[in-house]
A and B are shown apart, each in its own frame.
Chain A
C-alpha cells in the first residue's frame, strides 16, 4: 500500500520537521547543533536545568514543550529512534551548572541505553545531574517486566511540574523529589483503533480489523491486552479509568489530574466525549478531577486512538501544575 503523507525525502524527515518547527516557534525555541532544541531565553544559570531525549515522529512531543517553565533542552533522535549518546552528552555539557540537571528519560530500550551511557560520561566529567525514568504504562499489569513498563505521555506533565519547581529556584534534590513523587503517582493506558505507517519506511506499525480496538497498545505499535470489539466512549472510559485508578491506588477524596492525549487521528470531539465518561467513573468513586487537559501532546503519526493519563495530586503538585509556562504546545499565564 502506498504511503499517503506530505513528505519530501523519507530519509530527511527529522531535519525538515525541525526546520518548520523553528519557523513556527522561533520566538520560543531554537534548533542548535542540528538536533538540540533549546530555549530562546535561557533559564538563569543558578536554577536547575531540565533535559530530555527521544525519537522524532511523535510531534509535538517532546520538543514542543521546550520553553519557560518546562524543558531547557530536548535532544531529538531520528524517527522513532533514540538520539545517540554523543548528542545527549553535548546537551548535558551545554546545561552543566552548579545547580545541576534533572535528566528525564522515557523507558524505551534505545533511549535508556543512550541516556545511561551519556550519564556515565557526564558524571566522569563532573557534571551534576539526576535521572528520572518515566515508566507509567500499566498495559502489562503490576507484574510486567521492567522493559514493558514504558514511558508514555506522562513525561509531558512531569516536565511541567519539574520545570515549575526548577523555575521556583528549588535545589536539584528538591526538584528530583517532587518529580519522583509525581512519577510514582501517575499512570497511562493507551488504546488504538487504527494503525499508523512508519514515515521513513512506509511500513504499517500493526494491523487491527475494522471492528476492533486494542487497549494497551504502545506508541510504536507495541501490543496491549489483545484486540476487543469496539466499545462505546463511556464503556471504554470505564474500563481504562478503572484500571488507571487502581494502578495509582486512588481513594475517595483524592484530587486527580486527567489528560486525554490524542494519538494523531482521533478527533477532539471523541476525546471530550470520553473525558465525560471518565468523570462519571471518578464521581462515582468520590474523587475529583482537580485539573484536566485534552489535546495532542504525544502522537503516533496517523494512529487512531488515545492515551488516557491520570495522576494523584497533592497541593504542592497542583500548584506547580498551575504555575506559568510558555512553550510552543503548553502555555499557562
Chain B
C-alpha cells in the first residue's frame, strides 16, 4: 500500500467507523444504562446516520469541507454532550487535512487537530472516565509513529491504545457528565463514550484496510 492517503481513503476510514458503531450500538446503550441514562447507543446511531448522509452528499466536496460538514451534522443530531464533543473532533480534523498526499505524519496531525478542538469543549483528562481516556492515548501513539511509515500500522496501534484506554475506564469513577453523579456505582463499568471512541479508531483502521 502506498504510504500516503487522500479523500478516498479518509472516506473509507469514516465509513469503517460508522459501520463499527452501527454494529455495536446496543452494547453502547447497555454500557450507558450502568453509568448514565442508557441512550448513548441511540445517540451514536443518530449521529452516524448524519455522518453517512453527509458523506453521500459530498461527492464533489473538498475533504476539508466534508469533514467540517460532518462535524456540523453530528452537532445537529441533538445528542447532549456527545454532539458538541464528537462534532468538534471532525471540525478540528477539517482544519488539518488534504485531498491528496497525506503521509503518516499528516494523518497524526489531522487526528491531533480534531482532539485539540474537542478538548476546548471538555476539560477532561486521562483518568476522568470520558471519551478522552480513549482519545488521548490514540493521539499519543500516532504522534510517536514513524512520520513516513505505514499509516495502516500506525492506525492499528492507535486503535489498540484507544481500546486499552477504554478498558482502563472500568476502574475509574467519573469526573464529568451524568456518570459523575453516580460516584462509586460506576466502578466496574467501561465508559460508553470512551468505548465509542475506541470503536471509531478500530473502524478507521478496518475502513482503511478494506
A: which residues have CB within 8 A of B? 11, 35, 55, 77-87, 109-110, 113-114, 116-117, 147, 198, 200-201, 203, 205, 218, 220-223
What is the chain A residue whose CB lies nearest that of B84? A113
Question: Which A residues touch B149, using CB under 8 A?
Answer: none
Question: Which A residues touch B183, using CB under 8 A?
Answer: 223
Assuming the contacts A147-B176, A200-B42, A222-B178, asked whether A84 and B78 have C-beta atoms less than 8 A apart, the reply is yes
Please tell me if B125 contacts chain A, counting CB pairs below 8 Å. no
Roughly how many angstroms separate A114 CA and B77 CA in the complex, as a whole number?
Answer: 12
For the complex formed, measure the closest distance between the CB of A119 and the CB atoms of chain B, giving whole angstroms.
12
Find out whether the CB atom of A81 lies under 8 angstroms from the CB atom of B181. no
Find out whether the CB atom of B181 lies under 8 angstroms from the CB atom of A198. no
* 19 A-B residue pairings within 8 Å (CB atoms): A11-B42, A80-B80, A81-B43, A82-B78, A84-B84, A85-B75, A85-B84, A87-B78, A110-B81, A110-B83, A113-B81, A147-B180, A201-B29, A201-B38, A201-B42, A203-B33, A220-B37, A222-B178, A223-B181
Question: Which B residues touch A80, using CB under 8 A?
Answer: 37, 39, 80
Find out whether the CB atom of A81 lies under 8 angstroms from the CB atom of B177. no
The count of A-to-B residue pairs whose CB atoms sit within 8 angstroms is 91
Interface string of B73-87 (1 = CB under 8 A from A): 011111111011101
Question: Which A residues touch B75, using CB under 8 A?
Answer: 84-86, 114, 117
Beyond A78-B80, A110-B80, A223-B182, 5 additional contacts (C-beta under 8 Å) are A84-B87, A109-B81, A114-B84, A117-B84, A147-B176
Assuming the contacts A117-B121, A218-B181, A222-B178, asked whether A85 and B83 have C-beta atoms less than 8 A apart, the reply is yes
Please tell me if B72 contacts chain A, counting CB pairs below 8 Å. yes
What is the chain A residue whose CB lies nearest that of B74? A84
Question: Which B residues touch A110, using CB under 8 A?
Answer: 80-81, 83-84
B: which residues have CB within 8 A of A? 29, 33, 37-39, 42-43, 72, 74-81, 83-85, 87-88, 121-122, 176-178, 180-183
B78 contacts which of A83, A200, A220 (Cβ < 8 Å)? Answer: A83
4 residue pairs, one from A and one from B, having the closest CB atoms: A110-B80, A81-B80, A201-B38, A222-B181
For the complex formed, measure the closest distance between the CB of B21 and the CB atoms of chain A, giving whole angstroms.
17
Roughly how many angstroms separate A113 CA and B42 CA in the complex, as a whole number?
Answer: 20
Find out whether the CB atom of A81 lies under 8 angstroms from the CB atom of B178. no
A221 contacts which of B39, B72, B83, B181 (Cβ < 8 Å)? Answer: B181
For the complex formed, measure the closest distance between the CB of B1 and the CB atoms of chain A, giving whole angstroms.
37
Find out whether the CB atom of A87 lies under 8 angstroms from the CB atom of B84. no
Find out whether the CB atom of B84 lies under 8 angstroms from the CB atom of A81. no
Find out whether the CB atom of B81 lies under 8 angstroms from the CB atom of A82. yes
Find out whether the CB atom of B80 lies under 8 angstroms from the CB atom of A82. yes
For the complex formed, measure the closest distance between the CB of B82 and the CB atoms of chain A, giving whole angstroms.
8
